Homo-oligomer: A and B are copies of this chain.
């Protein structure tokens, strides 16, 4: 039997890439561009240079392929940020990790996210699916979130928590992490608007550099204040107010829609 996991030789003599991989590649591209419903099985089969029946054969159907694509995204993203994340996780286990080191690691991680994910053609394909899943989650959102979003967030949360003063509210720290992530995300999500306003053709290296500088500057503004132990948070109602522990209280009963609409 022809193996499912190696390249093989067709009767015409080609050494073709597996249909499986070609379908995932096509799905990555088309689902990212046009959303799940915007893509037909025939489009997928044609782009993958594969027979229509192959989708059912390998993935059980269109939805199965979609979930396989989500898995693939997790693998790919993990391949990119995995080492960086492991480095942070290792550092976070040390008790000796101080504020300056944490801030340095955080900067490094964020710069890494900017330079490696912004403007890279491959990662752009992932983003369409990721963003759409955030807007209206399907089964695939679980895959993405638990696959790399949660680990990434935890690393960011962990570093941020070590930067700010001990009294800080846990929720406030997370919100600041989201804020800084938002500064990066907007360049992913709104490239159309940004390019229009700045007369950019795309995210050229010098443009990326400008983005990186601005975000890194803002990062200092967001977290630097606590580097010298001051606490200059403005007009907040009660600072470091008591909050229920996240694990016990009101654990959200999630309901990810089972059916892809």
Contacts and interface: CB of A to CB of B under 8 A. Distances in A.
Interface of A: 33-38, 127-128, 131-137, 141, 145, 149-150, 153, 157, 171-172, 174-176, 178-187, 189-201, 209-211, 213-218, 220-222, 224-225, 233-237, 246, 249-252, 254, 261
Contact of A235 (B131, B190, B213): B213
The count of identical subunits is 2
Contacts of A198: 171, 174-175, 246
Given A135-B131, A199-B246, A246-B199, A189 B194 contact: no
A188 B174 CA distance: 16
Contacts of A174: 197-198
Contacts of A221: 218, 220-222, 224-225
A167 to B, nearest CB: 16
Contacts of A192: 133-134, 137, 141, 145
A187 B178 CA distance: 8
A135 B145 contact: no
A193 B36 contact: no
A252 B200 contact: yes
B128 A135 contact: yes
A162 to B, nearest CB: 18
28 contacts: A33-B136, A35-B132, A131-B131, A134-B189, A141-B192, A145-B192, A145-B193, A150-B197, A153-B197, A175-B198, A175-B211, A176-B218, A180-B183, A182-B183, A182-B186, A183-B183, A185-B185, A185-B189, A185-B190, A195-B252, A196-B252, A200-B252, A209-B237, A217-B222, A217-B233, A218-B218, A221-B222, A221-B224
Contacts of A201: 250, 252
Contacts of A234: 213, 216-217, 220
A186 B185 contact: yes
Given A175-B210, A213-B234, 11 more contacts: A34-B136, A35-B37, A35-B38, A127-B135, A128-B135, A174-B197, A178-B197, A200-B252, A201-B250, A218-B218, A218-B221
